[in-house]
Structure 1
Amino acid sequence: MVASTRITRAALFAVALLIALFCHGLAAAADTETSGERALLAKYAAIKAKLDKNQFGAPIFLESTEGQDSVRVDMYGVFRYPFETVHEALQSPAAWCEITPLHINIKACVYKTVKQQTQLTLYSGRKYFQPPSDAYPLKLGFRVTASRPDYLELSLVGEEGPFGTRDHRIGVQAAAVEGQATFLHFSYTYSHGTMARMAIKTYFATLGRDKVGFTMVGDDGKQTYIDGVRGAVERNTMRYYLALQTYLDTMKVPEGQRFEQRLNRWYDLTAKYPRQLKEIDKAAYLNNKKLERAQQEALQAKQGKQGE
């Protein structure tokens, strides 16, 4: 009985870990890759056919890799909004504190700017309501690395995370494409050590054993969805990507109605992928997020709005 309780606790901690892991981003490998508008548009040309027709029923392309101590997911997609709209929307840390809490596991997001350095703190928890004090606070440095009339690049970087994880990075690149649209690359990675591997192994042997991602693996005769930590990161990446889409889709909604419209829109978008993303019913999600919003506003008030 005691051993069983310990396993359950470890599994729950692992859930929090995997949730938090996604909240961190830009693949470390991306730092050594050719970056910038030219490379992004070359990628667009290379995958355009896959964006037009794919398993998602939307202009989305997903790639993921897993090494011994790291996982990387890259998502590419087309947003039917002019680049100027996307460029303006995503440069603000305040906007990211509207986007990230749509994710079912993000309990709150607050930001501050001190000496021209902007930091976001994401509070990662379980799928049910939790006050930020019961969630894991992940501190991310927010930096816009390129902002031009035709190209945007930004990163959110957390050097340390739970269970000995490190190098948590989110990255976004965006450029204009034909038809008054924007091509966007969203990338995520983290690295982990021995403690994290043990927590992950426990989780996927218990609570996470039936969870899958989006990539199909296996031979042509018997293909299945990827599972394990790679599948978990794919799920979380998709949740954040759909949060970005939700934010852009609701920008023209009257300000007083945006929050509720965004909750409904995000849930409906995730409902298109029930095998991977279904966790709780819509009523519970809406109720939890309204409670969490109040907690976030109180936290931000204490933090002080020190920059947009």
Structure 2
Amino acid sequence: MTIHRAFVATWLAAFALVACVLPDTAAADAGELHARHLQLREQLRNSPFGGALHIDSAEQPDRLQGDVYAVLDHSFATVSQALKDPARWCDILILPFNTKYCHAVQAANGPALQVRIGRKYNQPVEQAFRIEFAHRNVAAQPDYLESRLSAQSGPMGTRDYRIVVSAVPLDGGKRSFLQLSYSYGFGSLGRMAMQAYLNTAGADKVGFTIVGRDGNGQPQFINGVRGAIERNAMRYYLAIDAYLDSLSAPPDQQVQARIRGWFDATERFPLQLREMPWPTYASMKLQEHERQQALLN
């Protein structure tokens, strides 16, 4: 059976953004996340990413999961305020190159984000894949934040998507420890779509986990489905960090600051994340921001 490459690309573009409905109970608490920070102390201290950052991924027969752990140079109050707000999530999610549209709405069951994901960066927004998923704040405490995006099903037979972002204060609240976790389930159709991608457009792409060294001592990175989930995890972590960084700029410069910040951050990892030159990306994202603002006015 042959799967049309456009459908495969649509599925891959969407798979990093959709999330499933979870029970409204916290996945962890402040104590558990602080314990995880201590467990990862050496990995964070010796991180190869140029900052206190660690990526983990796992593959099961019918499920994939990726986790990013990072120490942020942003106060817990700033992180908590930003990630509690559905509209701010749209400011974050619009940064990756294939997000064409994001609009926060009040749906029947609570706050939701209407998102469109393009098969390619220059696809017209009306042709992009439409996703609506819920935003839930399941913990917004002085010492623990947990925010979720969720949807029950996705394209190409995928299901049970979950994105969970949690954070705790460090150094008396001056910094924050953040975990971004997402996973999704799949059946035979979803597995076939991913394999088709990995045999074509994704054949030469890699993730971030080092699985060995070549004869010259250069790192060899994980590939396949775990490589794909790690690339997506990094893109969305960098979007969160770029948004938080932009808050220190004057209000009329914040949009340009986060667009530039996300692009520059991805360029630190050209092997995994390079997609297009700066002028193309900047022009595209400014236009998409203007589209979002037109909807709000």
Answer yes or no: same fold by TM over 0.5: yes
User: 1:74 maps to which residue?
Assistant: 67
Question: Structure 2, unaligned stretches of length 5 or more?
Answer: none
Query: 1:18-57: CA deviations, max 9, x gaps?
Result: 12111134898x9999611111000001111211111111
Structure 1 residue 228 displacement after superposition: 1.6
- Asked whether 1:186 is paired with 2:180, we answer yes
Contact 1:91–1:144 under 8 Å retained in 2: yes
Equivalent in 185, 190, 196 of residue 202 of structure 1: 196
User: 1:11 maps to which residue?
Assistant: 5
Structure 1 residue 207 displacement after superposition: 1.2
User: 2:28 maps to which residue?
Assistant: 35
Counterpart AA for 1:215: T
State the distance in 2 between where 1:198 and 1:116 align: 33
Structure 1 residue 297 displacement after superposition: 3.3
User: 2:51 maps to which residue?
Assistant: 58
User: 1:295 maps to which residue?
Assistant: 291
Counterpart AA for 1:19: A
Structure 1 residue 130 displacement after superposition: 2.4
SS in 1 for 2:40: helix
Change (3 A) 1:25 1:45: farther
SS in 2 for 1:128: coil
> Structure 2 length as normaliser, TM-score?
0.91
> Structure 1 length as normaliser, TM-score?
0.88
Structure 1 residue 217 displacement after superposition: 2.3
SS in 1 for 2:74: coil
SS in 1 for 2:54: strand
Equivalent in 189, 213, 233 of residue 207 of structure 2: 213
Counterpart AA for 2:122: F
| Range that drifts further, 31-40 or 228-237 | 31-40
Structure 1 residue 105 displacement after superposition: 1.2
Calculate the aligned-residue CA RMSD, in Å: 2.5
SS in 1 for 2:136: strand
State the distance in 1 between where 2:229 and 2:121 align: 19
Contact 1:27–1:190 under 8 Å retained in 2: no
Contact 2:18–2:161 under 8 Å retained in 1: yes
SS in 2 for 1:162: coil
User: 1:21 maps to which residue?
Assistant: 15
Alignment of 1:96-135 (within 5 A): 96-114=89-107, 117-135=110-128
Structure 1 residue 293 displacement after superposition: 2.2
Alignment of 1:77-88 (within 5 A): 77-88=70-81
Change (3 A) 1:31 1:74: farther
Contact 2:20–2:151 under 8 Å retained in 1: no
Return the structure number with greater helix share: 1
- Asked whether 1:147 is paired with 2:140, we answer yes
- Asked whether 1:255 is paired with 2:251, we answer yes
User: 2:40 maps to which residue?
Assistant: 47
SS in 1 for 2:33: helix
Counterpart AA for 2:133: L
State the distance in 1 between where 2:220 and 2:61 align: 22
Question: Structure 1, unaligned stretches of length 5 or more?
Answer: 302-308
Contact 1:27–1:187 under 8 Å retained in 2: no
